[in-house]
Amino acid sequence: MQVFQVLSRTPTRELPELAALVEQLGFDGIGLSDHLVRPREVASRYPYSADGRMEAGTSTPYPDPWVAIAALGQQTSRVRFLTNVFVLPLRDPFTVAKAIATASVFSGDRVVLGVGVGWMAEEFALTGQRFEARGRRTDEMLEVVSKLFTGEMVEHHGEFYDFAPLQMQPVPTTPPPVWIGGESEAAIRRAARRDGWIGIHYGEVDALERIARVQRARREAGRGSGRFDVALALREAPDRAARRRLEEAGMTVLLHPAPWPADPRGLGPVERREALERAAERLLG
């Protein structure tokens, strides 16, 4: 089982140094989150907390993940970069494809595209993208992005996007794998058709049940064989026995949350480095 260290909620100026440390400590990857803005008032319900509120506050930094990956790729040589998750339908497919492809090139094809359909309607209103039907639009966007990643002259005629032949450069040498985040039935079915699934905030029992759902959806989609990743952030770091049970069920990546508060101003750079070192000793030792 690989271990990815999530560096969300990190002061942006510290990211290059901390990314290099994550690689040095032996982690397999780095996770980065995504939000464009944080409205003062958010009526939309956050689906991953009991009270429907985000843990992160208005001061939590959310650098653009693709700009960050392009920069952090210059500070590292081995770790992969996962967006957990990138809110794809908040944008248009052309801007997205260009950003992902550029970050992939600069990082040496070490990108994993973790995608979610989003939950904060307020952000969609700001960008002029429809919140409704965002799941179907995500599916079509992934088709468009895949075409653009070929670097060839391509065209598309779909429900949401329609364009005559065009070409995009640069493109990744190897298209990044697509992992889908979310636990709705639609998200599970979407993940089953792609390369992996991302889930967060589970205990072991719930994680095993969700993994079984995903594997069942893969079989129903005719995708029961072949490489498929399951990346989970758990409520507590699993011990060796729990990791073995989860790995046997199909979990391939442990997403370790940033080991500091949601408001990163509570710690300094030295404390954050020490927190990562302790996490590595506990998880990788």
Structural domains in the chain (count): 1
Q: Are 181 and 199 in contact (CB under 8 A)?
A: yes
> Cα(147)–Cα(88) distance, rounded to whole angstroms?
16
**Average pLDDT, integer, range 141-156:** 98
Q: Which residues contact 46 (CB under 8 A, 6 or more apart)?
A: 52, 53, 54, 119, 120
Q: Are 119 and 48 in contact (CB under 8 A)?
A: no
pTM of the predicted protein model: 0.95
Neighbours of 230 (CB within 10 A): 23
CATH of the domain at 200: 3.20.20.30
Lowest mean pLDDT among 33-47, 157-171, 252-266: 252-266
Q: Quick one: pLDDT at residue 84?
A: 96
Q: Above 80 in pLDDT, residue 262?
A: no
Q: What percent of the chain has pLDDT over 90?
A: 87
Per-residue pLDDT band at 285 (split at 50, 70, 90): confident
User: For tokens 């510290």, what's the residue?
Assistant: 14
Q: Are 280 and 27 in contact (CB under 8 A)?
A: yes
pLDDT digits (tens, 9 = 90+) for 48-73: 888 888 777 677 899 999 999 999 99
Q: Above 80 in pLDDT, residue 264?
A: no
Cα-based distances in Å from 125 to 28, 39, 45, 121, 128: 36, 11, 15, 6, 5
Angle (deg, nearest 10), helices 93-106 and 65-72: 10
SS3 call for 166: strand
State which residues form the domain around 204. 2-284
Q: Quick one: pLDDT at residue 163?
A: 98
pLDDT digits (tens, 9 = 90+) for 86-131: 999 999 999 999 999 999 999 999 999 999 999 999 999 999 999 9
Per-residue pLDDT band at 241 (split at 50, 70, 90): very high
Strands (E), the chain: 2-6, 29-32, 80-83, 86-87, 111-116, 154-157, 162-166, 178-181, 196-202, 229-234, 253-256
Q: Above 90 in pLDDT, residue 267?
A: no
Q: Quick one: pLDDT at residue 265?
A: 74
> Cα(160)–Cα(162) distance, rounded to whole angstroms?
7
The Cα angle at residue 282 between residues 281 and 285, in degrees rounded to 5: 55
Per-residue pLDDT band at 136 (split at 50, 70, 90): very high
> Cα(285)–Cα(268) distance, rounded to whole angstroms?
25
